[in-house]
């Protein structure tokens, strides 16, 4: 979000023109008029390629309504910082990869990656690899190859995709109540703060500049 801030030089002396006739708008006023009439800059849209695991009967583990809610929530949070998402359908994942238990399981998903998009793999369960007694709802995973992608559990609450995308776009965890990157929730709407938004915008520009992600129309 950009704001035009016009400040008078505190060391300058005020004066008023003596000429008779129409007043000449100040530079700040003219600039403000231009900014008011201009449209906000268009957001950069990235392809979110979603590959969903199937169960033993071949049925997808996640339905369209759940996925739409995850993406809509993420886009509402990212759009103020110039990032949008367009869903693309990936190939179904076989039932044998539906339960992600180990680092090797997570790394194996790298074989399903597509270049220049954000890959999201939706699975049935996701084990914490540092504490096997715990399960996770999502993760931004870095494979040994250097590639990175998102793994999401099909039962994850609505803002988990936004949280993992927050990591993807450069944000660490937060301890602020109801922040997207925090685990602490009160039931109030979640949010990114201004600094997190700057990281998102900067990382989006870096992804485009490097060619790692290609914007879509």
Residue 93 contacts residue 58 (beta carbons within 8 Å): no
pLDDT confidence of residue 84: 97
Average pLDDT over residues 91-103: 97
Average pLDDT over residues 73-81: 98
Residue 149 and residue 126: Cα distance in Å, rounded? 14
Residue 168 and residue 120: Cα distance in Å, rounded? 11
pLDDT range class, residue 115, cuts 50, 70, 90: very high
Q: Which residues contact 11 (CB under 8 A, 6 or more apart)?
A: none
Average pLDDT over residues 129-140: 96
pLDDT range class, residue 41, cuts 50, 70, 90: low
Please give the mean pLDDT across all residues of the chain: 86
Is the per-residue pLDDT at 26 higher than 90? no
Residue 202 and residue 81: Cα distance in Å, rounded? 10
Percentage of the residues of the chain whose pLDDT score is greater than 70: 81
Is the per-residue pLDDT at 34 higher than 70? no
pLDDT confidence of residue 18: 37
Residue with tokens 């039931």: 187
Is the per-residue pLDDT at 33 higher than 50? no
pLDDT confidence of residue 2: 40
Average pLDDT over residues 154-165: 97
Is the per-residue pLDDT at 11 higher than 50? no
- Tokens linked to 72: 């809509």
pLDDT range class, residue 42, cuts 50, 70, 90: confident
CB atoms within 10 A of CB 129: 17
Q: Which class for 112: exposed (0-12), middle (13-18), buried (19 or more C-beta within 10 A)?
A: middle
pLDDT confidence of residue 51: 98
Is the per-residue pLDDT at 24 higher than 80? no
Average pLDDT over residues 79-107: 97
CB atoms within 10 A of CB 207: 21
Residue 106 and residue 150: Cα distance in Å, rounded? 10
């Amino acid at each position: 979000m950009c704001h035009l801030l016009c400040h008078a030089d505190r060391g300058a002396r005020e004066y008023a023109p003596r000429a008779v006739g129409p007043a000449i708008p100040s530079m700040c006023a003219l600039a403000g008029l231009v900014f008011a009439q201009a449209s906000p800059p268009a957001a950069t849209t990235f392809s979110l390629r979603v590959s969903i695991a199937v169960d033993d009967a071949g049925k997808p583990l996640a339905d369209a309504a759940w996925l739409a809610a995850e993406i809509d929530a993420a886009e509402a949070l990212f759009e103020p910082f110039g990032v949008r998402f367009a869903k693309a359908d990936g190939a179904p994942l076989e039932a044998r990869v539906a339960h992600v238990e180990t680092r090797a399981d997570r790394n194996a998903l790298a074989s399903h990656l597509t270049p220049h998009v954000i890959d999201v793999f939706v699975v049935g369960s996701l084990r914490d690899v540092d504490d096997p007694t715990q399960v996770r709802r999502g993760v931004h995973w870095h494979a040994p190859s250097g590639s990175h992608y998102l793994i999401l559990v099909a039962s994850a609450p609505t803002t988990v995709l936004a949280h993992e995308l927050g990591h993807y776009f450069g944000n660490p965890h937060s301890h602020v109540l109801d922040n997207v990157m925090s685990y602490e929730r009160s039931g109030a709407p979640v949010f990114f703060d201004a600094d997190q938004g700057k990281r998102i915008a900067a990382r989006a520009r870096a992804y485009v500049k490097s060619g790692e992600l290609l914007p879509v129309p």
